[in-house]
Amino acid sequence: MGKARAAGARTKTPAGARGGGARPNPNPFEVKVNRQKFQVLGRKTRHDVGLPGVSRARAIQKRCQTLLKEYKDRDKSNVFVDKRFGEYNSNISLEEKMLKRFALEQQRQHEKKNIYNLNEDEELTHYGQSLADIEKHHDIVDSDSDTEERGALSAELTAAHFGGGGPLHEKPTPAPGKDGERPRSRKELIEELIAKSKQEKRERQAQREDALELTEKLDQDWREIQALLARRAPKPGNRDQERPTPDAYDVTVRELGFEMKAQPSNRMKTEEELAKEEQERLKNLEADRLRRMRGKDEDEDTKPKHTSADDLSDGFILDQDDRRLLSYKDGRMSIEEEQSGEASDREGAEDEGEDAGEGDAEDSSGSEGHADLDSDGESAGESERPGEEQRRASGHASPGGGGGAASTELPYVFAAPESCEDLKALLSGRPTEEQLLVLERIQKCHHPSLAVGNRAKLEKLFGFLLEYVGELATDEPPALGTIDKLVVQLYDLCQMFPESASSCMKFVLRDAMHEMEGVVEARGRARFPGLDVLIYLKIAGMLFPTSDFRHPVVTPALVCLSQLLTKCPVLSLQDAVKGLFVCCVFLDYVSLSGRLVPELINFLVGILYIAAPNSQSPGYTLVHPFRALGKNSELLLVSDERDVATWQRRHLALHWASGPPARTETEANHIRLSCLAVCLALVKRCVHMYGGLPSFHDIVRPLRALLTEHLASRSHPRELQELIRATLTDMETQEERCQPLICEKSRPVPLKLFTPRLVKVLEFGRKQGSSREEQERKRLMHKHRREFKGAVREIRKDNQFLARMQLAEAMERDAERKRKVKQLFNSLATQEGEWKALKRKKLKK
């Protein structure tokens, strides 16, 4: 019932009462009352009672007066702004405004343009033009005539062109001429005027040509006397004066001025282009070598030149002078003596020629071989050498002895080996330089960019070359110099094919490890491997990066090295040499990463122990493969003082590791002292590498005890004693650069107590625990937040209002368009009906 009454009351409300203005007698049913559940003292309440539509209507009315007006005037620019003085100031009377405006205008007119010009006067104008410009009479008259009086028209010309037609310009009555001649007509006067103007023009042209001739003559005369005027008599004082020497700056400027400018160079060739050029060069050299080996001349392969029928063949050169001097002796000609002398001379010359030819052949072969090494050793970018080498080779080799020299010469083109035996056949029996040259030519002739199958051939070449290096290491004696040179070729192939090189190296190391593990399982211990495995381990560290945390080749190599130091006992001098070589390789592996290798330290401790007399209580513990007592516990001990005195420190030769044992006891003692020197050098290197570790002193404690024992014995040479002292000094001076790892210190957890926790009761509705400044800051922040929210709300309402206005305009435009379209359709329909009615009438008629 209450809702029905409220609805009925709303229906009785007049329509005008719903406008934007306030109503004098509001409907009590529309009054909104904001009731509160309970009253709070000190709290201010707003809008307790009010009408729901009044505030909204007022807001809409205000937006219509401001925002809607700006929206409608957004594209209009015809706004008139009155900028006269005091126009919008209501405090100034009209008379004061006029006086002030007149004063400002006079001030603007009398204002000086230049503040430094004291003689500047007021400028007077007439019809907007300055009187000073008018007085100058600068009249511009455009005329094509070349007369001296420019802009002046004669009376005759004026009368001829502009005369007649009015009372002021009456045509003069023609007077009778002299001697009774008739007066001339207008046409005759104009022809006479034209003739005079042409005559004047010809005269001016003649004057201009005369002036030009005089000017040229004057210039010519001036050139003749100019040379005489340019030569000035030198002053007597200038002869004695010397020219000043230029300073360093002037000299540098002149040098830069005469410096050669940079010339454009050819572009850098790609790897494929360089490989192609190198292959062509080697093919040309090989063809030249085969030609010289068969004894063919260079001209035989070429086509014969065409000989003309008029050729007299007079372009020959005599090899020798066949003319003879005629002489008489005792009335007879001495022809036989000359012939016999010439024959003997000819035989001697032939003998000398043969000797010289043999010598030249030998020299040429030697020079050619050396030139080949030099040319192939150079970079591939120098592609201009093949022609020079061919000319040099063809020039040095004689036709008679060139075949033998070319047959012994190294070929330039080689086929890729299909097995290790093919590679041995190519390299065996040749010196090291020729072996390197053969491998280099194989790589150049079978570059991967030249053919599809060359990549597989070079990948196989790496494995064959690695196997060949192992065989060189097992020879007696091992060819260590050749192996050292072949490592460069292995490195080049490894850089070209790293995956295949790593697989080959892993295969070699895997075989060595399997063989050693089988021996250890069968006997419980294993001997040091041959020199080929040690060389493979050394090469692996040179070809692949050793500082990686994990590597497919280096990590197995490190495991192999550690197994060698722990599973292989030292039973002879060869084992000691091999073990020290493994230690050197191990240190090379970990030189960059700085890893701690316990097996290395234990092996060095064992080497120092077997080089000193055995003691009952050494103070340290030896680990496998060394024993405190036994057959080989004093393997490196030297007891002969004469051998100690004759020993000289040298590098430990690696061929001792695979060669036969020492022939004499003196040689064996020298090897023992050399092993001890190498061991001391490795200990010093370890001290420098691991000097900053926290447990450094614990690591080197056995080494320090052994070195002190060696120093106390005083049975070693002086060089070794100095090395021991230097190592001990380095051990003492090393400081811990790294702190040991410890657990982070944390505060102890307190025990639970029974003391009650006091919690401060907060008074809700107030800001607690803040100073006056803090409260003021919070109040401003709260006010800013509230105003910001209000501004965002008003902007949103403005956007909604504009959207409604735009929608209303669009709807109004659509309605107007529909109305016009409907009106057009109606008019068209009316016209169509009228036309049809007219047509019917015509048909009826």
Q: How far is CA 16 from the centre of its chain?
A: 82
Instruction: Identify how many contiguous H helices and E strands the chain contains and give both numbers.
Output: 28, 6
User: pLDDT, tens digit, for every residue of 386-412?
Assistant: 333 433 333 333 444 455 566 677 888
What residues pair up with 333 in beta bridges, in sequence order?
A: 328
- 3-class DSSP assignment, residue 484: helix
Predicted structure pTM score: 0.48
Looking at residue 747, what is its pLDDT? Answer: 82
Residue 138 Cα distances to 123, 134, 640, 643, angstroms: 18, 8, 130, 126
Decide: 732 and 708 in contact? Cβ < 8 Å: no
What residues pair up with 130 in beta bridges, in sequence order?
A: 125
- 3-class DSSP assignment, residue 338: helix
Looking at residue 537, what is its pLDDT? Answer: 93
Q: Which of 495, 414, 413 is nearest to 462 (CA)?
A: 495
Name residue 650's amino acid: R
Looking at residue 769, what is its pLDDT? Answer: 61
User: pLDDT, tens digit, for every residue of 321-370?
Assistant: 555 655 556 556 565 444 444 444 444 444 444 443 433 333 333 333 33
Q: Which of 440, 493, 483 is nearest to 463 (CA)?
A: 493
Decide: 50 and 31 in contact? Cβ < 8 Å: yes
Residue 719 Cα distances to 314, 327, 631, 640, 648, angstroms: 84, 88, 29, 17, 9
Instruction: Give the position of tokens 């360089």.
Output: 274
The CB density around residue 572, as the number of other CB atoms within 10 Å, is: 14
Residues of the chain with pLDDT under 70: 1-26, 45-54, 79, 110-124, 127-128, 131-181, 229-242, 292-293, 295-407, 616-619, 735-740, 760-770
Distance of alpha carbon 545 from alpha carbon 165, whole angstroms: 116
Name residue 835's amino acid: W
Distance of alpha carbon 840 from alpha carbon 845, whole angstroms: 9
Decide: 531 and 656 in contact? Cβ < 8 Å: no
Distance of alpha carbon 384 from alpha carbon 387, whole angstroms: 7
The residues, ordered by sequence, that sit 6+ positions from 610 with a Cβ below 8 Å of its Cβ are 570, 626, 632, 633, 634, 635, 636, 637
Alpha helices in 331-479 (DSSP H): 335-377, 385-396, 402-408, 420-427, 432-445, 454-473
Burial of 622 (C-beta count, 10 Å sphere; 0-12/13-18/19+): middle
Q: Looking at residue 430, what DSSP letter applies?
A: S
Q: Which of 603, 540, 598, 541 is nearest to 577 (CA)?
A: 603
What is the chain's Cα-based Rg?
60
Distance of alpha carbon 153 from alpha carbon 150, whole angstroms: 9
Q: How far is CA 654 from the centre of its chain?
A: 46
Alpha helices in 497-530 (DSSP H): 498-523
Using DSSP bridges, classify how beta strands 49-50 and 125-126 pair: parallel, antiparallel or unpaired: unpaired
Between vectors from CA 752 to CA 747 and to CA 755, what angle results, nearest 5°? Answer: 120
Name residue 162's amino acid: F
Decide: 86 and 98 in contact? Cβ < 8 Å: no
Q: Which of 638, 636, 649 is nearest to 603 (CA)?
A: 636
Q: Looking at residue 25, what DSSP letter applies?
A: S
Beta-carbon-side half-sphere exposure of residue 212 (alpha carbons within 13 Å): 6
Q: Which of 391, 400, 390 is nearest to 360 (CA)?
A: 400
The CB density around residue 6, as the number of other CB atoms within 10 Å, is: 13
The residues, ordered by sequence, that sit 6+ positions from 820 with a Cβ below 8 Å of its Cβ are none
Task: Locate 157 and state its tokens.
Answer: 């010309």
- What values do phi and psi take at 328, rounded to 5? -125, 145
Looking at residue 331, what is its pLDDT? Answer: 56
Decide: 51 and 26 in contact? Cβ < 8 Å: yes
Residue spans per domain, the chain: 411-496, 593-736
Beta-carbon-side half-sphere exposure of residue 3 (alpha carbons within 13 Å): 0
The CB density around residue 724, as the number of other CB atoms within 10 Å, is: 22
Q: Which of 637, 537, 549, 624 is nearest to 594 (CA)?
A: 549
Helix, strand, coil content of the chain in percent (nearest 5): 60, 0, 40
Looking at residue 503, what is its pLDDT? Answer: 93
- 3-class DSSP assignment, residue 33: strand
Residue 379 Cα distances to 376, 444, 644, 791, angstroms: 8, 12, 51, 79
Instruction: Give the position of tokens 């669009």.
Output: 810
